[in-house]
Amino acid sequence: MVILKTEALTKIYGKGPGMVTALENAALSVEQGEFIAIVGTSGSGKSTLLHMLGGLDRPTSGKVFVENKDIFSLKDEALTIFRRRKIGFVFQAFNLIPTLNTYENVVFPIQLDGNSIDEKFVGDVIQSLGLSKLQDRLPNQLSGGQQQRVAIARALASKPAIVLADEPTGNLDSRTSQDVLSLLKVTGQKYGQTIVMITHNEAIAQMADRVIRIEDGHILKGGDVNA
Amino acid sequence: MPKVHNRAVIHRVAIRDLRQNRKMNIVIILSVMLTCILFTCLFSVGGSLINGMQQETMRQVGGDRMAGLKYVLPEDFEKLMEDKETRDVVYRIIVGNLINKELKNVSAEVNCAGDGSAAKAVFCYPQEGRLPEKIDEIAMSTLVLDELGLPHELGTSVPAVIDIDGKNISYDMTLCGYWPGDPAAMAQECWVSRAFADEYAPTPTENFYTSENHGYAGYWMVDFNYKNSFDIEQKTEALLERLYGNAEIVPDIGVNWAYLTSSADAGTIAAGILLMMIIFVAGYLIIFNIFHINISANIRNYGLLKTIGTTSRQIRRIVRVQALTYSVMGIPAGLAIGVLLGNVMLKSIMRTLEIRSEQAYTVSSSLLILLCLASAAFTFITVMISSLKPCRIAGNVSPIEALRFHESGGGIKRKSKKTGRITPGSMAVGNLRRSRKKAVIVILSLTLSLVLVNTLFTVLNGIDEEKYISNRIVGDILIRWNEKSNFYDERAKGITPDIIAEFDKIDGAELHPVYYEDGMVITDETLSDRLNTLYQEHQGDKAQSEELERAIHDQSYSAHIYGIDGAVARFLEPTEGAVDVEKFQTGKYAIIHTYLWNADDDPGVEILHPGETVTVKCGDRKKEYEVMAVCSMIYPLSTKIYSLFETQVIIPTQEYLSFADEPGSPCIMINASENGERIKEQCRMLCDRDGSSLVYSDKQTHLKEFQGLIQMIQLVGGALSGILALIGILNFVNVVVTEILSRSQELAMMSAVGMTGRQQKAMLCWEGIYYAFWTTICSVIVSSFVSCVAVKNVTRELFFYRWSFTILPIIVCVLTFLALSILVPYISYRMICKTSIVDRIRSNG
């Protein structure tokens, strides 16, 4: 089943001579449970693509379908709610909320939704990511790798349709990167999660099921499932 | 170490940095402006009010010179002219008093002005005509002319009757000049020529202070200024020391109390400094808050700068340059608005009070520039001091710490946090907790402005017309002999039984005349002993000790005997014993108060106590009374004439009438319970008859008089508390806005993980509400303390003040805070949402 699909996705920044086409006619489709890496040099448009997949940024033209729903037909407020239900984010800078402890950070999107927490599931996720002993710690008491694991747990906890990871290992050393990525992959498989990750690191990209290459705003390779 | 030329690059970084955070900058510049407006407004309104009141008091005192020597000789004048510290020395020669019988309600002095500036110094320089030159020329105020029934016309002949040290001289003078008389002045001036003075009041040969015959005529009054008006009293003492050394006889001095700084005692200075400090702190807290928040928001930037090799000193300089830029942009605007606002306030004060001497209140441009400079300096210093601490924080930031800085309470790391339910409210609590220090400062600064507003309001709120009026009038109507009359006898006993009978004819008027008679207290042994003790205590004061000595020697001293009826006796508020009206009217008892004048202290010296006996002599009659209570005569019903040393003896009317040969009253208290308006009208008519010296007043009259003062206080106070409240509210807005703007990245991150705008706004609102909540608690506690302890005690002595507790202003301000806690996040959130989430997430991290 195709869980994520884009149609002629284009993003243009600025107007007139300063105009930059960050992404042009990008077409992409992702199957349920896939682990995809988007690779490209910096400025190639991979972050722009990811932001639009997650509904953080609106495209100049084109569409993004998540579970066959055109997400940009939603208004901002509805889009935010859609995002916290269907999309989990993992950022390079972790972006944990400084006043909340590990556990609270993990369940934050669920609580924002006012839903009751599936304690068993969340406990399982926390354990899978090796965070059981760190539940009461605040973000500034965690190492980078630990913080990123919390971020991954947060992304998984609400059982989203897709997890989007933006250079999740960008701030980590290579060994921690390996650990974190393995965890991401393993937990993704375990829970049948679809994961879309961007990176500029070829070695890391190789851990993915499929690699999509992007350059100068164009998807060069791997955009389609069957390509 | 070689000098490194890096100023330019530091400057560039600082300015670039500023350009980047435009919204933040606007908020900071606004707060600098706010502080500047606060200072400028306070300074300009305060300055011109002090200026104006000084001028008004000078008019009342009747002179603008800072100090003067009284009853001296031309040689003393010469000495003053030569002294280095004194300047603008002027003199006038005392001649006498104008006592034409038409002058019932005006007291007029006759003097000779040394020159034009001497006349100007006492505000009596002829507006029309000139000062007298020939022996038969006279210049006088229009008030005297009016009272004499003469036209305001140069050349009018003035038949003057002048009392020169007890000798009456009639002289036909010619009017050579006049000026509009000032009703506020205590006495009106009439100038005669030097020729006249030389003829009728020649300069005495003997020093006034050693002379046996107690005349004033011919002595000089010499007034002068110093370089500035600070601590005139002390300067004058030093001057006397210089002029007369250790001489036993030194002239009396007069210090113009119009100058607020005339006596620089510790209390006044402390109060002034305290006031300044409070204002300064208010300004400091506004700016400090904002700066602190801004630095915290930029801390990653500073860390970044450090990682690439910027030193602490350079970072501190960057922050300083930024502070300077804020000052340069904020202060001029603040000054302009402050001056304008101050002007508008002052204008409305003038209009409401119908102040006629508007010029007196207008601040001269040189003073205005001074005030502006002071406010600018004040603001600048505040900005610089406020930036010290943030400067240090920015300078000392460790690059790695800064890069992962989350404002988590400046080093205090909490071990962990219990898991709780997350709601916008609980997150708001977390946000306040994470930087406790900041929260405390914000709450403190808000509390300070609320406490100031509340205190000011408490003071204003307590002004009590009833209490004021009870000090001016008792009963419904008060008929008095004109207090400005030249003749003491008439003021004390001018209202004869005939006049009283006339008022008694008014249907429905309930008359309570207060009778008065001069008498003596005859001292017995106990009293003599007590007088002796008193004499020992006051040996240092020449006048007082002489008076006491005489009393001891004569075995008697001055008694002011009042005869009152039961209705009046009910108004007495004794300090010792109790007034039993029934017993009082038996005629066996007297109510006593003894008074020894000594400049500034409480003049009460009670040497007679309840239960003791007092022997009173009047004419050749003598009688003994038992002292029932110690109580001074009700001020509005008294003669308002005091001796240096006296005992007031209050006895019932019947007793008085048996004593006095010629009964007379200073005043009549009239109650008019029914047909009040008609009775008032009739009383007024009786008083307004031609040639009458009776003065009518009722509560309304005094209320009107008081209204001016009240309005003045309420307007100025109201304006001040308005400014303070506004500052508090704007400070609150500033804090909330800054909190939001400085956290735009964090908020974006929350958006990214699915916190909706509504939830974020709710969280921000809660933060505002928590600030408001804690501010309320703190300010209610502090205000209650200030109100119950400080205000209550300070105002206890004021005769127009009744303290009452209120926290109304706090409630009003807090309600405003609450409304703003909801409104401001909505607006500022919309502002930050103009930048997309992606951009905001990227902006710093």
CATH number at residue A49: 3.40.50.300
Measured between its terminal Cα atoms, the distance across chain B in Å is: 37
Q: CB contacts < 8 Å between A and B, how many? A: 105
* Minimum distance, in Å, between the CA of residue B314 and any CA atom of chain A: 28
Say which of B418, B756, B836 has its CB closest to residue A81: B756
Write the CB contacts of B4 (distance below 8 Å, at least 6 apart in sequence): none
* Minimum distance, in Å, between the CA of residue B753 and any CA atom of chain A: 6
Asked if residue A227 has pLDDT above 50, the reply is no
The pLDDT of A141-168, averaged and rounded, is 87
Q: Express each pLDDT in B765-796 by its tens digit.
A: 998 899 889 999 999 999 898 888 877 777 76
Please write down the HEC assignment for all residues of B319-346.
HHHHHHHHHHHHHHHHHHHHHHHHHHHH
At residue B705, the pLDDT reads 66
> Chain A residue closest to B424 (CA)?
A112
CB distance A140–B413 less than 8 Å?
Answer: yes
Residue A113, in any domain of the structure: yes
Within 8 A of B836 by CB-CB distance, chain A residues are 56-57
CB distance B754–A84 less than 8 Å?
Answer: yes
CB distance B753–A109 less than 8 Å?
Answer: yes
Residue A170, in any domain of the structure: yes
CB distance B845–A95 less than 8 Å?
Answer: yes
Residue A64, in any domain of the structure: no
Please write down the HEC assignment for all residues of B729-760.
HHHHHHHHHHHHHCCHHHHHHHHHCCCCHHHH
Listed by start position, the domains of chain B span 1-60+265-406, 64-255, 424-473+701-845, 477-671
CB distance A56–B419 less than 8 Å?
Answer: no
Band (pLDDT 50/70/90 cuts) for residue B845 is very low
Q: Express each pLDDT in A29-50 by its tens digit.
A: 899 989 999 998 888 888 888 8
Query: Is A225 in a helix, a strand, or coil?
Result: coil
Say which of A99, A103, A138 has its CB closest to residue B427: A99
CB distance B421–A111 less than 8 Å?
Answer: yes
Within 8 A of B407 by CB-CB distance, chain A residues are 98
At residue B409, the pLDDT reads 41
CB distance A101–B416 less than 8 Å?
Answer: yes
> Chain B residue closest to A84 (CA)?
B754
Say which of B419, B752, B754 has its CB closest to residue A95: B752
Q: Express each pLDDT in B437-479 by its tens digit.
A: 778 877 887 888 888 888 888 877 887 777 777 777 888 888 8
Q: Is the dihedral of CA B210, B216, B219, B225 positive or negative?
A: positive
Q: Express each pLDDT in A117-150 by its tens digit.
A: 888 888 888 888 888 898 888 888 888 888 888 9
Q: Express each pLDDT in B210-261 by its tens digit.
A: 777 767 888 999 998 888 777 777 888 888 888 887 777 777 777 777 775 5
Question: Domain of A80?
Answer: 32-59+72-221
Residue A160's alpha-carbon distances to A77, A112, B444, in angstroms, are 18, 14, 45
Asked if residue B577 has pLDDT above 50, the reply is yes
Residue A23, in any domain of the structure: no
Asked if residue B367 has pLDDT above 90, the reply is no
Asked if residue B309 has pLDDT above 90, the reply is no
* ipTM of predicted complex: 0.73
The mean pLDDT of chain B is 81
Concatenating the DSSP letter of every residue in B347-413 gives HHHHHHHT-S-HHHHSPPHHHHHHHHHHHHHHHHHHHHHHHHHHHHHHHH--HHHHHT----STT--
Length in residues, chain B: 845
* Minimum distance, in Å, between the CA of residue B759 and any CA atom of chain A: 8
Band (pLDDT 50/70/90 cuts) for residue B416 is low
With CA atoms as reference, report the closest residue to B645 among B544, B720, B778, B566: B544
Asked if residue A188 has pLDDT above 80, the reply is yes
Length in residues, chain A: 227
> Chain B residue closest to A144 (CA)?
B404
Mutate to test the interface with A, among B416, B431, B749, B753 (most CBs of A within 10 A): B753
**Which chain A residues have any C-beta within 8 angstroms of a chain B C-beta?**
51, 54, 56-57, 76-77, 80-81, 83-85, 89, 91, 93, 95, 97-101, 103-104, 107-109, 111-113, 135-141, 154, 158
Total number of domains constituting chain A:
1
> Chain A residue closest to B760 (CA)?
A112
> Chain B residue closest to A57 (CA)?
B838
Round the CA-based radius of gyration of chain B to a whole number and report it. Answer: 35
pTM over 0.80: no
Write the CB contacts of A172 (distance below 8 Å, at least 6 apart in sequence): A144, A145, A148, A180
CB distance B754–A104 less than 8 Å?
Answer: no
Residue A39, in any domain of the structure: yes
CB distance B759–A112 less than 8 Å?
Answer: yes
Say which of A77, A93, A104 has its CB closest to residue B757: A77
